[in-house]
Chain A
Amino acid sequence: MKLNTLFLGLCGASALAFAAHAETITIATVNNGDMVRMQKLTDDFTAKNPDIQLEWVTLEENVLRERVTTDIATKGGQYDVMTIGTYEVPIWAKQQWLLPLDGLGADYDAADIIPAIAGGLSADGKLYAAPFYGESSFVMYRKDLMEKAGLTMPDAPTWEFIADAARKMTDRAADINGICLRGKAGWGENMAFLTAMSNSFGARWFDEKWQPQFDQPEWKNTLQFYVDLMKEAGPSGASSNGFNENLALFQQGKCGMWIDATVAASFVSNPKDSTVADKVGYALAPDTGLGKRGNWLWAWSLGIPAGTQKAEAAQKFVSWATGKGYLDLVASKEGWANVPPGTRTSLYNNPEYQKAAPFAKMTLDSINSADPTKPTVKPVPYVGVQFVAIPEFQGLGTTVGQLFSAALAGQSSVDDALAGAQTASVREMTRAGYIK
């Protein structure tokens, strides 16, 4: 480091020079709105902890995941706090790459964390990452179009109802699609949606012996239903639509319904960005009466890598960013509607929050109805609702996602896509040693 500093002194290096007494912790975050807001509120933390300086690395989701995973797995030691999701936590905790969060302070009130979320972030009863915001998925729909179609959305619809409504709401001439769903290939794109959906159809990725289940009728029902529905009532270009694309379509009034992350509710109901802000209703993700709903569970969380030299400062920061005080801080500066959702029960009991966020109850109900430890109708050997928390899943999920997006685009049949998915899964799982 010294040598480099000297060398680069020529070039006017300034970033390396910090006040000697202050400890600097480097925080890797994802560039979602809530996280960006946290950066702006940093002053509150540094005022309370003058001996700690914060250095931010903000990256988009996929790049962030690559960066932090490479770094923690090679013990690169570049970060003191990492933003990770419910997918990483169980895998990393098993490798003992994360410090258990036991020093968050007396007033942290870990019991206040929504149980479903805490469950997804814990291993052996210890919390390994603190949730910054949590989300499930639910149905967002246009009340006006629903009325026009002569239907009433129940609080807990079935897939049958959704399909029926989607077909009735579709008006190609007016450029209105009954339903917008994710179609872009990727484990966190279409597969997040389809895996959650398949849970409600009674499907599962693997049986208890890690045998892939794409050759089972439940998966066939799921994928066929999805492809048919999208063909009749979905937007053009659905096979390259992810969260953003559907958000834009919905905000421009081109979707009757949209099933996606609960955090989208604050976007579509914000009159500044959305042309349909006052017409949006919410309902739980649909089911087929088998006892599981098609909604997922995700929490962007703050974890501390085991190799850090600054564990104490890092814990202080995590405690600040995910504590109750932070929610109050955001509420006082930016209003209750902008508070990071989905982490604490107390927030949902707060009448002011309920008033500011009409989707609050539905969000909480959605989160509570997802169970990462028992995600499916039939038993499975894995945890994770819209993913399988094994290291192999990102690659495999993307492969399967590619095949399913081809079925959606009409370039292959549903049967071919499923057969391909089965072959790819058996291959990958055999190699990784799950199938003996």
Chain B
Amino acid sequence: MFAITPNTLSNFMISVSRYVILLSIALISVSAFLIIFLENDYYQGVSFKIMFIHVPTAWLSLSIFLVMGISSIIGLIFKSPTAFTVARSLSPIGLIMSIIVLVTGSLWGNLTWGAYWVWDARLTSMLILAFIYLGHILLLYSFEHFQKADFAASILAIIGLVNLPIVKFSVDWWTTLHQESSVLRMGGPSMTNDYLITLFVSFFGIFMLTIFWFSNIFYIIVEKRKMERSILLND
């Protein structure tokens, strides 16, 4: 597994990426169709449909950070350039995802709670996650040599892993304005099956889009390094 070079991984992902983007477009169109024709929630009305963007991006922003943290650990322990490059190409996607979560969440919050923003545990820890993503990107691009940048940024990613269970379980550990999770909870999901199916279709659509996006960023980084290396060798 650790014998995979960035080059082979990037070639593999670029070769499958056209199927990934086709699948993503198909799933996102199906979910858009489902979202438009779903029956409204009995209590919130039409505003609950924000959930079908908010929840998938929230899951993704957490799981992207988990993958980033694990690949940073692998990269630091085994000195694997592939793992470092995976972490490097994931962090802008995670930042965009967490910004989408915060924006859609505050729009929904204004319609439902009556406030765009409150400082409860879930919202604050999610904001901290977005700032860790931002810090990770800033660290990656503030060194002259990318090996040093990868080292510093992966330490931040490993420390940032502590925040993940806080984001996930903040609604269970403390009293918050944000509601508890509706899908991963004791006693099964607290939403009807048509909502649940739409949520999962939308999630897999955005997930495939994330993979496509990731493979493109990864490819660009690998090709750029190849180019720089060839310029150095020619000089």
Do A and B pair up? The answer is: no
Tell me the B residues contacting A by CB distance below 8 Å.
Answer: none
